[in-house]
Structure 1
Amino acid sequence: MQPNEQAGHYTFPLSEKVTRQKVSYKNRYGLTLSADLYLPKNRGTEPLAALAISGPFGAVKEQSSGLYAQTMAERGFVTLAFDPSYTGESGGEPRNVASPDINTEDFSAAVDFLGLQPGVDRTRVGIIGICGWAGMALNAAAVDKRIKAVATTSMYDMTRIMAKGYFDSQTLEQRTQLLEHLSQQRWADAEKSAPAPSPTGLPEKLQGNEPQFVVDYWNYYKTPRGFHPNSINSNGRWTATTPLSFMNMPLLTYIKEIAPRPVLLIAGEKAHSRYLSEDAYKAAAEPKELVIIPGASHVDLYDQLQVIPFDKLTTFFTEHLK
Structure 2
Amino acid sequence: MTVLNEQTLDHQYALETDMGRRNMLKMTGTGLAAIGVSAFIPSGSAFAQSEVKLDSKWDKTFRKSDKVDHKKVTFKNRYGITLAADLYIPKNASGKLAALAVSGPFGAVKEQASGLYAQTMAERGFVTLAFDPSFTGESSGETRNVASPDINTEDFSAAVDFLGLQSNVDRNRIGVIGICGYSGMALTAATSDSRIKAVATASMYDMSRSMSRSYKDSYTMEQRHKVLDYLAEQRWKDAESGKYALGYHEVPFDDKGNIIQGQRVLPETLPENPDPVLLSFFDYYKTPRGFHPRGINSSTAWTATTPMSFFNFPMYANIEMISPRPILLIAGANAHSRYYSEDVIKVASEPKELLIVPNADHVDLYDQMDKIPFDKLTAFFQKNLA
Which amino acid in 1 is paired with 2:206? D
Q: Return 5+ residue gaps in structure 2 as ranges.
A: 1-16, 28-56, 248-260
> Which residue of 1 is the match for residue 363 of structure 2?
299
Name 1:128's counterpart in structure 2: 177
Aligned runs of 1:84-233 on 2, under 5 Å?
Answer: 84-198=133-247, 199-200=261-262, 201-233=265-297
User: For residue 327 of structure 2, what is the amino acid of its counterpart?
Assistant: V
- Equivalent position SS for 1:13: coil
- Residue in structure 2 matched with residue 264 of structure 1 by the alignment: 328
The residue identity in structure 2 corresponding to 1:210 is: P
Following the alignment from structure 1 to structure 2, what is the Cα–Cα distance between the partners of residues 42 and 250? 43
| Aligned with 2:309 (options 207, 226, 245) | 245
Q: Which amino acid aligns with 1:166?
A: Y
The structural deviation recorded for 1:193 is: 1.1
State the secondary structure of the residue aligned to 1:4: helix
The answer for the alignment partner of 1:38 in structure 2 is 88
Q: Is the 8 A contact 1:2 1:224 kept in 2?
A: no
Tell me the residue number matched to 1:13. Answer: 63
Deviation for aligned residue 1:210: 2.8
CA distance in 1, matches of 2:140, 2:337: 30
Greater gyration radius: 2
- Structure 2: how far apart are the matches of 1:252 and 1:211? 30
2:20 is equivalent to residue 4 of structure 1: yes
Q: Which residue in the other structure is 1:308 paired with?
A: 372
Contact 1:267 1:274 (C-alpha < 8 Å) held by counterparts = yes
> How far apart, CA to CA, are the structure 1 residues paired with 2:200 and 2:232?
35
The amino acid of 1:21's aligned partner reads: K
Q: 1:50 aligns with which of 94, 99, 104?
A: 99
Q: Deviations over 1:239-297 (max 9, x none)?
A: 10010100121102111111000000000000000000000011100000000000100
Say if 1:12 and 1:63, in contact at 8 Å, map to a contact too: yes
| Percent sequence identity over aligned pairs | 64
Deviation at 1:62, TM superposition (A): 0.4
Once residues 2 and 100 of structure 1 are traced to their aligned partners in structure 2, the CA distance between those partners, rounded to angstroms, is: 36
Determine helix, strand or coil for the equivalent of 1:100.
coil
Equivalent in 66, 82, 88 of residue 115 of structure 2: 66
Partner of 1:284: 348
Question: How far did 1:42 drift?
Answer: 2.3
Instruction: Tell me, in whole angstroms, the C-alpha distance in 2 between the residues paired with 1:85 and 1:248.
Output: 19
SS at 1:260's partner residue? coil
In structure 1, the residue matched to 2:77 is: 27
**When the two structures are superposed, what TM-score results if normalisation uses the length of structure 2?**
0.82
CA contact (8 A) 1:96 1:238 kept: yes
| Segment drifting more, 243-252 vs 302-311 | 243-252
Would the aligned equivalents of 1:19 and 1:40 in 2 still touch at CA under 8 Å?
yes
Name the aligned partner's letter for residue 18 of structure 2: Q
Measured after TM superposition, the shift of residue 118 of structure 1 is 0.4
Separation in 2, partners of 1:226, 1:189: 32
Provide the aligned C-alpha RMSD in A.
0.9
Number of the residue aligned with 2:46 = none
State the Cα distance separating 1:22 from its structure 2 match: 0.3
The DSSP-based 3-state class of the residue aligned with 2:379 is helix
Q: Deviations over 1:11-33 (max 9, x none)?
A: 00110000110000100100000
2:299 aligns to what?
A: 235
Cα deviation for residue 211 of structure 1 reads 1.8
Q: Deviations over 1:99-125 (max 9, x none)?
A: 000000000000000000000000000
Query: What one-letter code is carried by the residue in structure 1 that aligns with 2:130?
Result: A
Which aligned runs of 4 or more in structure 1 are off by greater than 6 angstroms?
A: none
